[in-house]
Structure 1
Amino acid sequence: MLTFLSDLWPLLLGLIQFTAMAGAAVHVMLSKSDERAAAGWLAVILLVPFLGWLVYLIFGINRIQRRARELRARHVGELLPVPPPARVAGETVPDGPQVREMESLARFGWKVLPESFEGGNAIRVLENGDEAYPAMVEAIDTAQRSVALSTYIFNNDLAGRMVLDALTRAKARGVRVRILIDGVGCYYSHPSLMPLLRERGLNHTRYLHSFMPWRMPYLNMRNHQKILVIDGRHGFTGGMNISEGNLIGSDPRKPIRDYHFRVEGPVVAHLMHTFAHEWNFATGELLDGPDWFPELEEAGEITARGLPAGPDMGMNPIRWTLLGALSEARHCIRIVTPYFVPDQTLRTNLSLAAMRGVKVDIVLPETNNLPFVDWAATPQLEWLARAGCRIWKTPGPFEHSKLMTVDRLWSMLGSANWDGRSLRLNFEFNLECYGASLASRIDDIIEHKIASARPVSGKELAARPISIKLRDAFFRLGSPYL
């Protein structure tokens, strides 16, 4: 018997190897959309005996998207409140001068995400926490029915307690308060604000919070959205967290420049819908009825819609809308972002736009609060500069703004950065806006930043010492996760 087994084990081992190798190869061919990635993984699986398929099993399978879909699937079939229904194909673009000049982009966007475009909105720019936090506190203090707040970071500091006190006053008046904080972002300050939220009896929860490593709570699938909705009527969104670093006027130890936006009009329902969806996912509670979704009247001339995005979506609506805007641009593209590590497709489209004669300005902070992200971005900047993109580095304080305009008619604002974490791994929320008044206002802001910024040429980037180039090239390898 032992002799028989000793003769049989090589055959069994070979059968296991063949089955695992064949299964991994089939998975690669069916799941990898990038031909080069598929060919590379097939080479590893077929040419590295026993270890190749094991390496693919550990590192090659996209578990992030699968895990996100599994989590979301628990809520499939549940009734969620929705904004006005998306229009049918012939009605995707409301008529009016705000969108007529970029109608093809709007039609493309509707195919990417069939969410309705809402006309009649007003969007006000708020600079730094000095303007944003008082406006948010004032709005919370006027709340009569409901307050919905979603944020990545809610620090236990001057800014955090300012908002916390307003939320406490709203609860005391009988207002329905819901607070959603990311499970990682809630610990950015020490001590955390969480004990104070519990002490004051505010209805709150942490998004995907767990100390169990196998639940992947820390690196991926973060809720990076910044949404505040008052009575379902008055909205705030943008890229600003709740932190005293944004209170530039108070001379904080680590100042952060940023912009937030006050939103009025029908598109506020899109902010509220996104919050309600994430709150339902995190707590199981359904937010519905006029306290959260009242009838909304027109308040301005901007046409806009919300773009929620996350790793559970096959086509990331924010990323695809950016690609559409880059291809539609005819005159100018302006981008401000703190973290600029776009994938190859985005880089190629930026280069093509510049080579077509479109003026492409990319405004980045001179000193990044995450240096390794800046290092990973630098090799890509050299390529973009050679294509004709103009790269600018702004002096301190650290620039956390996330702004984009095209042809002084279209603008994008919200929580997403130009990196793989925002466009592939996190849950984000942006507003896509059609309106010359808003785009021109944001353009003026960007031009003001450029006026004090330092231009970065391709020649300067090419002249970096070899040691710096090696460092940057090493960190570029991790760019999909930065």
Structure 2
Amino acid sequence: MDKVSVLLLLVMHLGPASYAVYHILLYKRDTRSALGWIMACIFIPFGGPVTYFLFGINRVRTRARSLKRRLFKIRFEVGRAKPIPQGLYEKGIRAIGYHITGTELSLDNSITIFHNGDNAYPAMLEAIKQSTDRVYLTTYILKSDKIGKTFIDALADAVVRGVEVKVLVDGIGELYSWTKPSKLLMDKKVSVAKFMPPSLFPPNIYINMRNHRKLLIVDNDIAFAGGMNISDDNMSLTNKPRQITDTHFSFQGDFVNDLSKVFYEDWLMATGEQLASDIAPKSTHKGDTPCRVIPDGPGEEMDFLALAIQAVIATATDSIEIMTPYFIPSRELISSLQSAALRGVNIRIVLPAKNNLFYMHWANRNILSELLQLKIEIYYQAPPFCHSKLLCIDDEYCMVGSANLDPRSLRLNYEVGIEVFSKEINRLIRAHFDDAISKSTRLDRMKLENRSIPIRLRDAVVSLLSPYL
């Protein structure tokens, strides 16, 4: 090969490699990851830069923001943490959510806890039946089974009564049903939109950026939120035992407006339609429970929920209780839990013994020994599959909502977390933990570490893929 050809090939490699290194230095916050990508881009001709452009760039967050950046403007260096006005819970656990979101606590609310669809669905359907002005529903999964069709009929009846009804279903989540719920809703003249549905024309093949929120808002008077989808699987039926256990919540008071705003933004993003957002709650009901909503999505400058969870764990002095179906914690979250354990905080984590996504179970088993060695208690809850997402800190704080403790929820999905400051709600949820743990099996560290070599290799390989699960 002559010198001209060699020089041409060198220039063809150095151009993309130089731009890749430039991009890595500006946008990769993890120094180990950045160094690895830089070495690959420099020393693997052509393949290094191409691989980085295909797999190393977070296109999910870039697309979600849908903003053109200036050449030298680095978004994560800007941040969005809010200063707290003088005298407004300046320190402690109540200040965390405000610093992250800029949203003050809504103080005068009442909350009801519902365990499983047998309890939650009748209350939700009754609220729809009694609606007079508007019903807004967003859900990840609305199956076209018996209970799903019952909800669809109730929504259609509300439309006939002159109620404004808007339903937002996730474009991937609705594929859990052979008959698409969006079609059934449209057939009954219910206004329905799909959140980022996959399509070939125009091309949209993203499986990330899912709307994983579950919200039902009725007349700006009552709202339901939590982790529960709408499916027969959440119910105990005569010819079908319950497949999933879950926890859902209703809220009354000024906090309903905060949840309504989350729906307004989701509807605007999915349809381009601006809904009236200045409707005050009709309810005169006043409780005494402070709440704050923490909406999160891939378009935010900070990972709101991940940061909030790590921060509240850092405040714990007595106990931390975690219940989640999918547990693949980040290194930061692992460190937060380890630090709490070293401070003498009692930590209990409840996971499903049999996961509906078997690979999630494999992935977290490669992580759990780091927690077990510090005497953190981990329990496997027997079937049915537990889908609840609950966090309790000490005797007053709880976080509920739609987010799992895994990279997909905390980095790629649109989720909603709800902070609740109440000794009574905390007591009730911790009692639920006690009941679940009484029927669970505690994970033994030696048994985990004595897995066979093939099983350990399997778990380790799947764990490497955890950012994409």
TM-score by length of structure 2 reads: 0.93
2:358 is the counterpart of 1:371: yes
Query: What residue in structure 2 maps to residue 44 of structure 1?
Result: 40
2:132 is the counterpart of 1:144: yes
Query: 1:265/1:250 Cα in 2 relative to 1: closer, same or farther (>3 Å)?
Result: farther
Residue identity opposite 1:16 in structure 2 = M
* 2:97/2:294 contact within 8 Å kept: no
- Cα distance, 1:116 vs structure 2: 1.6
Aligned equivalents of 1:326, 1:380: Cα separation in 2: 19
Residue identity opposite 1:233 in structure 2 = D
Query: 1:182/1:67 Cα in 2 relative to 1: closer, same or farther (>3 Å)?
Result: same
Query: What residue in structure 1 maps to residue 156 of structure 2?
Result: 168
Deviations 1:251-292 (A, max 9, x none): 5366100011011111111110000001011111111156x5
Matched position secondary structure for 1:191: coil
Deviations 1:218-252 (A, max 9, x none): 52000000000000111000000000000125453
- Cα distance, 1:93 vs structure 2: 3.4
Residue identity opposite 1:197 in structure 2 = L
Aligned equivalent of 2:435, options 443, 448, 451: 448
Query: What residue in structure 2 maps to residue 83 of structure 1?
Result: none
- Cα distance, 1:194 vs structure 2: 2.3
Residue identity opposite 2:442 in structure 1 = P
2:274 is the counterpart of 1:278: no
Query: What residue in structure 2 maps to residue 183 of structure 1?
Result: 171
Query: 1:87/1:41 Cα in 2 relative to 1: closer, same or farther (>3 Å)?
Result: closer
Query: What residue in structure 2 maps to residue 225 of structure 1?
Result: 213
Query: What residue in structure 2 maps to residue 299 of structure 1?
Result: 286
Matched position secondary structure for 1:305: strand
Aligned equivalents of 1:134, 1:12: Cα separation in 2: 71
Residue identity opposite 1:56 in structure 2 = Y
Query: What residue in structure 1 maps to residue 450 of structure 2?
Result: 463
Residue identity opposite 1:397 in structure 2 = P
Q: Which is worse superposed, 249-258 or 386-395?
A: 249-258
Aligned equivalents of 1:72, 1:254: Cα separation in 2: 48
Aligned equivalents of 1:87, 1:243: Cα separation in 2: 42
Aligned equivalent of 1:130, options 102, 113, 118: 118
- Cα distance, 1:10 vs structure 2: 3.3
Aligned equivalent of 1:211, options 174, 199, 223: 199
Q: Map 1:331-346; keep pairs closer than 5 Å.
A: 331-346=318-333
* 1:92/1:110 contact within 8 Å kept: no
Query: 1:247/1:71 Cα in 2 relative to 1: closer, same or farther (>3 Å)?
Result: farther
Aligned equivalents of 1:190, 1:453: Cα separation in 2: 34
Residue identity opposite 1:219 in structure 2 = I
Structure 1: gaps of 5 or more residues: 74-85, 95-102
Matched position secondary structure for 1:236: strand
* 1:121/1:300 contact within 8 Å kept: yes
Query: 1:26/1:218 Cα in 2 relative to 1: closer, same or farther (>3 Å)?
Result: closer
* 1:72/1:281 contact within 8 Å kept: no
Query: What residue in structure 1 maps to residue 7 of structure 2?
Result: 11
Query: 1:56/1:218 Cα in 2 relative to 1: closer, same or farther (>3 Å)?
Result: closer
Query: What residue in structure 1 maps to residue 392 of structure 2?
Result: 405
TM-score by length of structure 1 reads: 0.91
Residue identity opposite 2:225 in structure 1 = T
Query: 1:261/1:72 Cα in 2 relative to 1: closer, same or farther (>3 Å)?
Result: farther
Aligned equivalents of 1:156, 1:249: Cα separation in 2: 16
* 2:291/2:419 contact within 8 Å kept: yes
Query: What residue in structure 1 maps to residue 93 of structure 2?
Result: 105
Aligned equivalents of 1:263, 1:72: Cα separation in 2: 39
Q: Which is worse superposed, 245-254 or 201-210?
A: 245-254
2:377 is the counterpart of 1:390: yes
Aligned equivalents of 2:193, 2:207: Cα separation in 1: 19
Deviations 1:456-480 (A, max 9, x none): 0211110111111001001001111
* 1:181/1:206 contact within 8 Å kept: yes
Query: What residue in structure 1 maps to residue 79 of structure 2?
Result: none
Query: What residue in structure 2 maps to residue 260 of structure 1?
Result: 248
Structure 2: gaps of 5 or more residues: 70-81
Q: Which is worse superposed, 245-254 or 308-317?
A: 245-254
Query: What residue in structure 2 maps to residue 248 of structure 1?
Result: 236
* 2:236/2:242 contact within 8 Å kept: no
The count of aligned residue pairs is 457
Query: What residue in structure 2 maps to residue 439 of structure 1?
Result: 426
Cα RMSD over matched residues? 2.1
Deviations 1:78-103 (A, max 9, x none): xxxxxxxx995225439xxxxxxxx5
- Cα distance, 1:422 vs structure 2: 0.2
Query: 1:108/1:195 Cα in 2 relative to 1: closer, same or farther (>3 Å)?
Result: closer
* 1:326/1:333 contact within 8 Å kept: yes
Q: Which is worse superposed, 122-131 or 213-222?
A: 213-222
Aligned equivalents of 1:389, 1:216: Cα separation in 2: 43
Matched position secondary structure for 1:311: coil
2:422 is the counterpart of 1:422: no
Aligned equivalents of 1:194, 1:289: Cα separation in 2: 24
Matched position secondary structure for 2:336: helix
